[in-house]
Amino acid sequence: MNAPEYREWTVADSASLYGVNDWGVGYFGLSNKGEMAVLVPRKEQPVSISLLDIIAGLEQRGHAMPVLLRIENLLDDRIRSLNQCFAEAIKNQHYRGEYRGVFPIKVNQQCHVVEEIAKFGGQYHHGLEAGSKAELIIAMSHLRDREACIICNGYKDAEFVELGLHARKLGLKCFFVIETPSELGIILEQSRRLGVEPLIGVRVKLAAKVEGHWFEDSGDRSLFGLSITQLVDVVDKLRDEGMLHCLQLMHYHIGSQIPNIRNIRDGVQEACRYYVDLVKEGAPLGYLDLGGGLAVDYTGAQTNETHSKNYSLEEYCVDIVETISEAMDSYEVPHPTIITESGRATVAYSSVLLFNILDVSYFKSNGLPDALPDECAESLTNLWATLQVLGEDNVQECCNDAVHYREEMRRMFRQGQVQLRELALAENLYLEVLQRTRLLLPRLRRIPPELQNLDEALADIYYGNFSLFQSLPDAWAIDQIFPVMPIHRLDEEPLNKAVIADLTCDSDGKLDLFANADGETRTLPLHDLKEGEEYYLGVFLVGAYQETLGDLHNLFGDTHVVSVRIDGDGGFEFVEEIQGDTIGDVLSYVEYNPKELYEQFRVSAEAAVKSGSISVKERQNMLRTFGNSLNGYTYFERD
């Protein structure tokens, strides 16, 4: 066999290694300089900005890593794409109804995000979905457009309903979606009391099941929605009250991140049957709300696996419009206004978590001597010999031997027969055998099963300046895969296989599940650190769900959040800069009073001065440090 021809590593190699062109859907790409760039779509050519330039700008403005970066242009582009794709499908299929998107606030409640959606979405009458009183208050104060919808899901008490009726009175298109039969009584009572007719929707429980993580939202046992008998009761009650004309919307939601287009089509088809029969029952309807579920391809694999999806946005829109149009035509029911509540697909792309690497624990030998010392233990001599004979034909045998001799050395150390430095040499030899084996594996015809996870077992641990629990909670809670990669040095081959540990002292605080061309892997290729130079990584597609689900594990607080807007000529502007939590902030979240903490510490320091164990000057230094810490960032700060 000829050795593979030596070839320079190129930026294109990095792009394919990290799958940028697959999951980046044109929003992210690599520059010739080997840096990750944000690409903002334009009519002719996208405008591109290096993330490293943005980081330089952040640091000049005093924002240390980690930072959550929001790129407003990408959020706008998602809303534009969603609305344009539906508009095109509607036009091409001569659908006689409109599309109205609503953004479910729970997916990212941050003020700046919702504000931007309301502002940019105005031209499309994009609305908001609220699942609680707090979210309804956000929706009521941000939407003025009378064509846009506010959809109220979730359990509603009298106050929730009253708020929504006030919105109605102001002319807003605010729908109450009935999730349980008991809500109807509250809605009717409040509307009589306030003299406002409600817009009512019903949430139906479909039998259609979906694959993926959220499959329990679907089927008979789904937690939400009306069963068939409850649905019939609601219709009867509305008719009895002379209010059936208020039933104008039908809603269902069969789960988030639906990877398979077939499940989406099945859901729409079943929903259309309900819709048609509700119309035949005498409800006017007019709005068909398909809920969320439009998936994000986090791995870029374009498959029907949990973290991926096997359809494009265009197919999604075309399939929905086509299915509804066929169903309505065959029952001669007018085409409804189509509503979708896409959350994830709207906001995921616009946020990137940026952090630096603080340190690496390499699983490599840290240098071997030219020869063994005289008179060393026999197991050590054997380990040395194993390393000398290791080759393609005996990898398995050599690895077994290495494991055995190292075990022997450890035993002898426990019994006092070898000393610390001899054991250290043995550990180094052992790692060297395994590292050389790892490099030999690709040349073998068959990889022995015990050696198949060698990459994982030898992965270097990169320590990242972030908290998984605060910034990427789904990576911990549900093994969500996010694209992760270095954002510079992409013209160099990354030679290490790594896992990434966060700052919490929790063994779950790590990223060790990644996507690659073959599916999922347990290690990520990364570069060696360079002395005196930061190494920056980005975690992408984190705009959905992560921010508010994050928690204060080890009291790491909110990161700085910075929004940029990129303009047509390649410049950018920081349109919003939100300082992350200080240590004082997070302490107050768990009911400490920072002023009292300072005072308690002052008393201790003063007592030490009095007893003569520290000087007044030392006291002042201590108190200054203590005070600065209370006002400082919760993450690792470089001097």
Ligand X SMILES: *Cc1c(COP(=O)(O)O)cnc(C)c1O
Task: Kindly tell me which of 317 and 544 has the beta carbon lying closer to ligand X.
Answer: 544
Alpha-carbon torsion (222, 225, 227, 228), positive or negative: negative
CB 180 → ligand X: shortest distance, Å?
Answer: 14
Tokens of 172: 């807003």
Task: Kindly tell me which of 103 and 466 has the beta carbon lying closer to ligand X.
Answer: 103
Interatomic CA distance for residues 358 and 346, integer angstroms: 33
Out of 66, 121, 225, 292, name the contact with ligand X by CB under 6 A: 292
Query: How many residues belong to the site for ligand X (CB under 6 A)?
Result: 18
Where do we find the tokens 């807003």?
Answer: 172
Which residues 6+ apart lie within 8 Å of 60 measured at CB? none
Tokens of 164: 């929504």
Which residues 6+ apart lie within 8 Å of 502 measured at CB? 463, 464, 466, 467, 468, 469, 509, 510, 511
Segment interacting with ligand X, rule: CB under 6 A, options 232-240, 325-333, 338-346, 497-505: 338-346
Helices (H), 146-301: 158-169, 182-194, 228-240, 261-280
Site residues (CB under 6 A) for ligand X, limited to 148-207 = 153
Q: Quick one: angle between helices 133-142 and 158-169, nearest 10?
A: 10
Segment interacting with ligand X, rule: CB under 6 A, options 12-20, 292-300, 452-460, 628-636: 292-300
Out of 58, 90, 107, 320, name the contact with ligand X by CB under 6 A: 107
Is 350 a binding residue for ligand X by CB under 6 A? The answer is no
Is 341 a binding residue for ligand X by CB under 6 A? The answer is yes
State whether residue 566 is helix, strand or coil: strand
Segment interacting with ligand X, rule: CB under 6 A, options 157-165, 288-296, 310-318, 409-417: 288-296
Site residues (CB under 6 A) for ligand X, limited to 507-566 = 544
CB 552 → ligand X: shortest distance, Å?
Answer: 23
Segment interacting with ligand X, rule: CB under 6 A, options 37-45, 250-258, 483-491, 548-556: 250-258
DSSP codes joined into one string, 93-121: TT-SS-EEEEEEGGG---HHHHHHHHHHH
End-to-end Cα spacing for the chain: 53
Tokens of 73: 């242009």
Give residue 337's identity as a one-letter amino acid code: T
Interatomic CA distance for residues 43 and 119, integer angstroms: 22
Segment interacting with ligand X, rule: CB under 6 A, options 253-261, 390-398, 549-557, 602-610: 253-261
Is 256 a binding residue for ligand X by CB under 6 A? The answer is yes
Is 31 a binding residue for ligand X by CB under 6 A? The answer is no
Out of 212, 293, 464, 525, name the contact with ligand X by CB under 6 A: 293
Interatomic CA distance for residues 120 and 456, integer angstroms: 45
Beta strands in 125-261 (DSSP E): 127-130, 149-152, 173-178, 199-203, 247-251
Segment interacting with ligand X, rule: CB under 6 A, options 181-189, 249-257, 423-431, 468-476: 249-257
Cβ–Cβ contacts within 10 Å for residue 464, how many?
29
CB 253 → ligand X: shortest distance, Å?
Answer: 4
Is 342 a binding residue for ligand X by CB under 6 A? The answer is yes
Alpha-carbon torsion (589, 138, 131, 230), positive or negative: positive
CB 419 → ligand X: shortest distance, Å?
Answer: 59
Is 260 a binding residue for ligand X by CB under 6 A? The answer is no
Segment interacting with ligand X, rule: CB under 6 A, options 102-110, 133-141, 274-282, 630-638: 102-110
Is 104 a binding residue for ligand X by CB under 6 A? The answer is yes
CB 221 → ligand X: shortest distance, Å?
Answer: 16
Task: Kindly tell me which of 18 and 214 has the beta carbon lying closer to ligand X.
Answer: 214
Count the residues in the chain.
639
CB 633 → ligand X: shortest distance, Å?
Answer: 31
Residue ranges in contact with ligand X by CB under 6 A: 104, 106-107, 129, 153, 253, 256-257, 291-294, 341-345, 544
